[in-house]
Structure 1
Amino acid sequence: MSKPKLLYNREEMLKLNIEVLQNRCNVTVMDIATIAHQQQSKYYKGVDIKLCIESVEKILTFRDVFHHIQFAAEVDRLAEEKMFKGPIQDILYYDLGLFGLDETLGLDVARNYGAIGQTNFGDIDVNKRGVVARLNEDGKKDGVVHTLMDDIVGAIAAAASTRVAQVMNEDLALENPSYQKISLFDLKNSKKGK
Structure 2
Amino acid sequence: MNEQQFSKSMTYAPGLPEGATFYSAHKKRVTSHAVANAVEAALKERGVTIEDIAEIVLDLQKPFMSGLTIETCAENVRGVLAKRELQHAILVGIELDRLAEKKMLSEPLQSLVDQDEGLFGVDETIALGAVSSFGSIAATTFGYLDKVKPKIIGRLDLEKEGKVNTFLDDLIASIAADASSRLAHRVRDEEEKRLSQNNGK
Q: In which range does the TM-score fall when normalised by the shorter chain?
A: 0.7 to 0.9
Amino acid at match of 2:93: A
Aligned residue number for residue 8 of structure 1: 30
**135 and 172 in structure 1: CA distance in 2 versus 1, 3 angstrom threshold:** same
Could you tell me which residue of structure 2 aligns to residue 124 of structure 1?
A: 145
Q: Following the alignment from structure 1 to structure 2, what is the Cα–Cα distance between the partners of residues 43 and 2? A: 53
Task: Quote the residue 2:5 is aligned against.
Answer: none
- Aligned partner (choices 100, 113, 121) of residue 79 of structure 1: 100
1:54 equivalenced with 2:62 (yes/no) = no
Structure 1 letter corresponding to 2:185: Q
The DSSP-based 3-state class of the residue aligned with 1:44 is coil
Aligned length: 177
Structure 2 counterparts to residues 27-66 of structure 1, below 5 A: 27-66=48-87
1:156 to 152, 158, 175: 175
Mapped to 2, the partners of 1:52 and 1:10 lie a distance apart of: 22
Q: Is the 8 A contact 1:13 1:60 kept in 2?
A: no
Equivalent position of 1:19 in the other structure: 41
For the residues of structure 2 that align with 1:121 and 1:110, how far apart are their CA atoms?
8
In the alignment, the residues of structure 1 paired with residue 200 and residue 82 of structure 2 have an alpha-carbon distance, to the nearest angstrom, of 31
Using the TM superposition, give the Cα deviation of residue 175 of structure 1 relative to its aligned residue in structure 2, in angstroms.
2.0
Per the normalisation by structure 2, the TM-score is 0.82
Distance across 2 between alignment mates of 1:129 and 1:45 = 22
Point out where structure 1 has 5 or more consecutive residues left out of the alignment: 181-194
CA root-mean-square deviation: 1.6
Whole-Å separation in 2 of the counterparts to 1:179 and 1:110: 36
| 2:178 pairs with 1:170 | no
Structure 2 residues without counterparts, runs of 5 or longer: 1-8, 14-27
| Structure of greater relative contact order (alpha carbons < 8 Å, 6+ residues apart) | 1
Q: Does 1:108 align with 2:116?
A: no
